[in-house]
Chain A
């Protein structure tokens, strides 16, 4: 075997603390190495051309590049060696930047370590075999999980790209958080007026299959060929028959049901259609409050329903869908304001969340768009908004900025002035974060044109005083403690990961951060991809986002899906496991540990043996580490290769 070794300076990144020329010289002594050189930027065009030239001049069979992390440039160099006519898996990379030059300043020690890492890579390469990818078919249907504005956008874009879309929504209607909003910033246009038509498009699009009131139960398979089990919860109404006429709601005697759509500002009937523009516009019975389902009596809805759609004994069902790609667009939830005991959220009726206030402002809300405070229905004249409730606060484990609260608070202050012209609004803030287009101008307008009183400081406590709420805080610009007697307090609750997000992430086999937000593949350059091929992200499930950003990411995810579907065949990564059938004892441990369901048990002449499904295996190596016989080996990470690397390290 003839091996060429290339040591990269990476400008001064490596060259500053590693003597690259010396490493190249030392590498000449390694077995099978016939050519070495040091180069300023191995990844640059002349750098790559140098590698290709050396392969041709010296008839090299394999190449080692000692440079940065393989996450950065392994694909680059694999393409380089392929261009020179080698198999692209006859390439190894030693990371002498992140693992050496960036972490120590001792040039001599760094140079020695770089030599050792290069030596290890050479030993590994000596046992590499050319590998060839397998091609497999791709199912060009996409599943989108979550029917908020991000999911709606992704669904419509994919469907307009002529792909079949399966849209799964947990609630009984799509629309998500945006459907609950009264107006949107910074244009103050009606939220449901701009979202409504998109929701109707989803309902009417021939390419979109909508599963409302459904959740993803199980996901198997791999990019191009996912098998998904969807649990359709029971609405106790036959949706095929329900026309959404609303007669059942009028007659339902159980009027104290939780009104989840209206953020529990009021109560609703046990049988319910959440809002007039709901898609699908179908009734749902809340089994917790339905008199028939809890006590066995009543059944009035069934009597009045003109299409006889009520089914009290309806059961949930599981349906299966095959798709080639998945977009997670599960959105966010709001911080639980009762965690700030000193603010009285959940205890004092007139301390409410921003989302609850949206419902009070909304014409389709429980108060018909008249702002009435929950305790006594009076119109508030002095309203205090408190920002950063559950944002930028390490003490409640929410150190991040939720990003949109500054803006929605400014919007609500403006709307308050429109609704109640003789009112005064106070906004307690720490900083105003308004970096979007026309955003800062909008917050300034709240102050300059609408007379909103912005007070820079936090609120320490809120307590009742007569029929008012005393808000005690600080005005750090005035340098003093301040208080306001308020009629209503609106807390700008921050965003947090949706309930159950980590659970879904595990089903999708994608990673999530410590707060439950899904992790993108690269924070800058791969913002909609995940580390699992074929799974993409859209909207606030990846981190707090406002509507324009969510819509943009929805479209971006759709573009990625459509690009994936533009191919007729996909190639697997050939660095996967294979079973030496002679050594396999059929213990089945590998089948148990495989997180991808890529190993099945087969019968071989009457004996159980493990077999790897080549297109499913992701090459994680868990099976290799588990197999007591060493029968299952991961190509390019075989036991022999790892031992050779250790040997090289011990002998150097």
Chain B
């Protein structure tokens, strides 16, 4: 592990950006660890969420945006609920994930593919088309056998439709996506 020059390597602009986008003040964190204590995903994280907060205070942009944890966060908001300083930690994780996506850091490709496929499906059909999502996700990630066993259980219950659901205002949903893209330019 390399030595971190905490003065030179502290990216103040990065901290300011995270603070602006999340509307949270990272200095408020006093590292009690309550977020990590309650997080159900710590077992899968490469950096526990309290350490994500510490790295953020130290402006360690590269390490944060390239970490897996920000992609694995399920936004269950246990951390937010329990933070004694009322920091919305889950929102910070969300902001970090968006920043990572924007700046081309994707440490968990499958997660990103799932999000993209999900959103594409919503954009196209006004709501998610499960079968289409499944097919695209499996095709893009090559995870053919994952959840294969669930198919026979779900199909008879009518939970998987072979056709997209027709909903009202489909075009309005697509409009939201369009407006979003415009703001991003």
Contact = CB atoms under 8 A, between A and B. Distances in A.
A276 B10 CA distance: 43
A453 B60 CA distance: 14
Contact of A475 (B6, B27, B28, B50): B6
Contact of B3 (A444, A451, A472, A477): A472
B8 A478 contact: no
A72 B117 CA distance: 78
A448 B25 contact: yes
Contact of B54 (A444, A451, A477, A483): A477
Nearest to B28: A448
Contacts of B27: 447-448, 451
A484 B1 contact: no
Contact of B1 (A455, A480, A485): A480
A444 B30 contact: yes
A485 B51 contact: no
B7 interface: yes
B148 interface: no
A426 B6 contact: yes
B3 A485 contact: no
A396 interface: no
Contacts of A444: 30
A44 interface: no
B4 interface: yes
Interface centre among B5, B8, B27, B28 (most CB of A within 10 A): B27
B4 A481 contact: yes
Contact of B7 (A382, A451, A472): A382
B26 to A, nearest CB: 10
B58 interface: yes
B5 A478 contact: no
A481 B1 contact: yes
A238 interface: no
Interface size on B, as a range, is 20 to 34
A482 B31 contact: no
A451 B57 CA distance: 10
A336 B30 CA distance: 31
B3 A484 contact: no
B5 A482 contact: yes
Interface residues of A, number: 22
B4 A478 contact: yes
A478 B7 contact: no
B7 A480 contact: no
Contacts of A486: 7
A481 B6 contact: no
Chain B at the A interface: SS class:
loop
Contact of A482 (B4, B25, B30): B4
A555 to B, nearest CB: 35
A456 interface: yes
Contacts of B60: 478
Interface in A464-498: 472, 475, 477-486
B99 interface: no
A382 B6 CA distance: 11
A482 B10 CA distance: 11
B4 A485 contact: no
A451 B12 CA distance: 11
A426 B1 CA distance: 22
B31 A477 contact: yes
Contacts of B7: 382, 424, 426, 484-486
Interface string A401-438: 00000000000000000000000101000000000000
B4 A483 contact: yes
Given A447-B27, A485-B8, A479 B3 contact: no
A615 B62 CA distance: 79
A615 B54 CA distance: 66
Given A447-B27, A448-B28, A475 B8 contact: no
B113 interface: no
A484 B54 contact: no
Interface in B1-50: 1, 3-8, 10, 25, 27-28, 30-31, 50
B5 A485 contact: yes
A41 B179 CA distance: 83
Contacts of A484: 5-7
A453 B51 CA distance: 16
Nearest to A450: B27
A484 B5 CA distance: 5
Interface string B46-85: 0000110011011010000000000000000000000000
A483 B51 contact: no
Contacts of B50: 477
B55 A482 contact: no
Contacts of B25: 448
Contact of B6 (A447, A451, A483): A483
A106 B134 CA distance: 74
Interface string B116-146: 0000000000000000000000000000000
Contact of B58 (A424, A448, A478, A483): A478
Given A448-B25, A448-B27, A478 B54 contact: yes
Nearest to A485: B7
A475 B27 CA distance: 16
Nearest to A477: B54
A424 B7 CA distance: 8
A192 B35 CA distance: 45
B179 to A, nearest CB: 37
A203 B79 CA distance: 60
Contact of B51 (A477, A481, A482): A477
A537 B11 CA distance: 52
Contacts of A456: 31
Interface string A368-382: 000000000000001
19 contacts: A382-B7, A426-B7, A447-B27, A448-B25, A453-B10, A456-B31, A475-B4, A477-B31, A478-B4, A478-B54, A478-B58, A481-B3, A481-B4, A482-B5, A482-B6, A483-B4, A483-B6, A484-B7, A485-B8
Interface of B: 1, 3-8, 10, 25, 27-28, 30-31, 50-51, 54-55, 57-58, 60
Given A482-B4, A483-B6, A484-B6, 16 more contacts: A426-B6, A444-B30, A448-B28, A453-B57, A453-B58, A455-B6, A456-B31, A475-B4, A475-B58, A478-B58, A480-B4, A481-B3, A483-B4, A484-B5, A485-B7, A486-B7
Enumerate the 3 nearest inter-chain pairs by beta-carbon distance, A residue then B residue, closest first.
A477-B54, A484-B7, A482-B6
